[in-house]
Structure 1
């Protein structure tokens, strides 16, 4: 399904005076030992007043547990061009909303590729590990292991899409029994996603963070999510604004086309205005309807009670 929603509303920035991760929220490290591609001592993690994270040394899950879990879990992944992680305006508000809807939300703090790791694969390693950990904890949190989704924004949409498209790609050597579990999400939501790293969509900060300034065409293709899609891709929801200046809307069309070619169910919603980086949506903008559209889609496909 393709739906074009129109509005002349203009987006506006919202300031955040203070940000901190609530001490009441449980946090689970992704790697209690043998972190792949680790290197040396790390600088102290920084979370600024707007909830932007850098210097990640302890990749982990922040768990938002609902009072009455409905059996669905969603891994929520912020963007930030793989240079920082926008918890404050993306994953935390989304996780809080999902929690209020009965979904167990797992907010991902992942390693950033340009922070002196041995490989730029580290965010992809972390995302795979995160899905496996959630699946391993299904009984503990009242989760149906067949209703584990992933929801990603911007670069987080790239990370979510890559994980959904390539769950079996060997990115690290197994360290425990958790790594025997599937890293495949059962459904995926891609919100104003970065998808392609091939021309003409290879101008994003995400591409530079992962591949540097002058990668080969083969390297660009290897990290272009639309080129990784096969029939094992989970059902996917995509939404973006046509006037997105950061990740051109063609990214969403490329992803939708690739998914449909392998006969996997997909739904796409394109808003005529909205720009980029809207999180749950900005007051007065048509993009504020995406959470209800995503919920309806997930309910209609049996992922959300």
Structure 2
């Protein structure tokens, strides 16, 4: 959420933003004991190109509540966006590979781990 909010600050120096299973709406504020804002309301024509990935199985930041509204708003503002929403995996898998699985209770998802190479490929497309 912080990365998404920062990327929407006027005159940000960010050239791109990568968001993994992002919190966009304040739907989990009460559970987390924080007060946040709806980051999708901050999107503007200066928001940098955005790469987003997540899982349809994510119960913390469900696709329809967080990612879908943000992507729609990015598109409405003609912000370049790439979205990868995986059918496997859950929230909090990091790289989803054996390296982060070591410290992540062996939570590994080979399919979802493809987000990182996809992100690197996407970076190459940016000018």
User: Structure 2: how far apart are the matches of 1:207 and 1:266?
Assistant: 29
* Pairing of 1:129-208 with structure 2 (within 5 A): 158-165=1-8, 167-168=9-10, 183-197=12-26, 202=27, 204-205=28-29, 208=32
Shift of 1:231: 0.5
Check whether the contact 2:16–2:50 (CA below 8 A) recurs between aligned residues: yes
Relative distance call for 1:228 and 1:285 in structure 2 (3 A) is same
Q: Which has the higher helix share?
A: 2
Relative distance call for 1:284 and 1:240 in structure 2 (3 A) is closer
Structure 2 residue aligned with 1:230: 44
* Pairing of 1:223-302 with structure 2 (within 5 A): 223-250=37-64, 251-282=66-97, 283-302=108-127
User: Structure 1: how far apart are the matches of 2:31 and 2:24?
Assistant: 10
Give the TM-score normalised by structure 2. 0.83
Larger radius of gyration: 1
Q: Please, which runs of 5 or more residues in structure 2 have no aligned partner? A: 98-107
Structure 1 residue aligned with 2:104: none
Instruction: Report the RMSD for the aligned CA atoms in angstroms.
Output: 1.8
Q: Please, which runs of 5 or more residues in structure 1 have no aligned partner? A: 1-157, 169-181, 212-219
Shift of 1:284: 4.1
Q: Say which SS state the counterpart of residue 244 (structure 1) adopts.
A: coil
Return structure 1 stretches of 4+ with deviation > 4 angstroms. 205-208
